[in-house]
Chain A
Amino acid sequence: NAGVTQTPKFQVLKTGQSMTLQCAQDMNHNSMYWYRQDPGMGLRLIYYSASEGTTDKGEVPNGYNVSRLNKREFSLRLESAAPSQTSVYFCASSEGGWAEQFFGPGTRLTVL
């Protein structure tokens, strides 16, 4: 089992460019999450999907969109990247909202 995989591992964008971060899990988990991690600000939830077909906003959803493509995949899209979106992005999945979350290795995004 690969667990939670994320692509790409690193990305540099110019302001205004768009991109999609991909996340997939092979554990048959119901819930999936996108977080961003910034120095001194811990882990902040962007969006989550409690089950296939549903998505909900987290703490910091502005500037992002998500798609729960199927049970395995949950993508995060930046339509018009801004320097404030420079961060490390983590995808996670869990069996349910109460359960242990399994994290991917992260995507390091720099917006110039």
Chain B
Amino acid sequence: GEDVEQSLFLSVREGDSSVINCTYTDSSSTYLYWYKQEPGAGLQLLTYIFSNMDMKQDQRLTVLLNKKDKHLSLRIADTQTGDSAIYFCAEKCTNAGKSTFGDGTTLTVKP
């Protein structure tokens, strides 16, 4: 079955770049997503990438996809304290009626 893995914690200094990594197992993934969860709230979609793309940039966010290695990353440039949250990677596979989420990476930004 599908499996999505992420490291649990990342700590960076304000102004640095953050890179959150994710690996997935299902080669039929069609969509890959990054969600953000702030304390006490539900998840919100940050960005997504189609499996036929290598990179997607959206303001401070850059998503890189390496299909061969089944590796997805989210880079946040100029990380701010407001970026402190849990970041979830998720994949949607062909013919699956649902997405599979990773366990989330807790990003802590220190001033």
Contact = CB atoms under 8 A, between A and B. Distances in A.
Contacts of B77: none
Interface residues of B, number: 22
Given A40-B103, A43-B104, A100-B33, A106 B42 contact: yes
Given A42-B103, A45-B98, A48-B97, A103 B92 contact: no
Contacts of A48: 97-98
Contact of B43 (A40, A43, A97): A43
Contact of B98 (A40, A97, A106): A97
Nearest to A106: B42
Interface string B86-111: 00100010001111011110000000
A1 to B, nearest CB: 15
Interface in B43-58: 43-45, 48
Given A41-B103, A42-B102, A98 B43 contact: no
Interface in A54-112: 56, 58, 90, 92, 97-98, 100-106
Given A50-B97, A98-B92, 7 more contacts: A40-B103, A43-B103, A48-B98, A97-B96, A98-B30, A100-B48, A101-B35
Closest CB pairs A-B (n = 6)? A103-B42, A42-B103, A97-B97, A50-B97, A43-B101, A100-B45
21 contacts: A31-B97, A33-B98, A40-B8, A41-B103, A42-B101, A42-B102, A42-B103, A43-B88, A48-B97, A90-B42, A90-B43, A97-B97, A98-B30, A100-B45, A101-B35, A101-B43, A101-B99, A103-B42, A103-B44, A105-B41, A106-B41
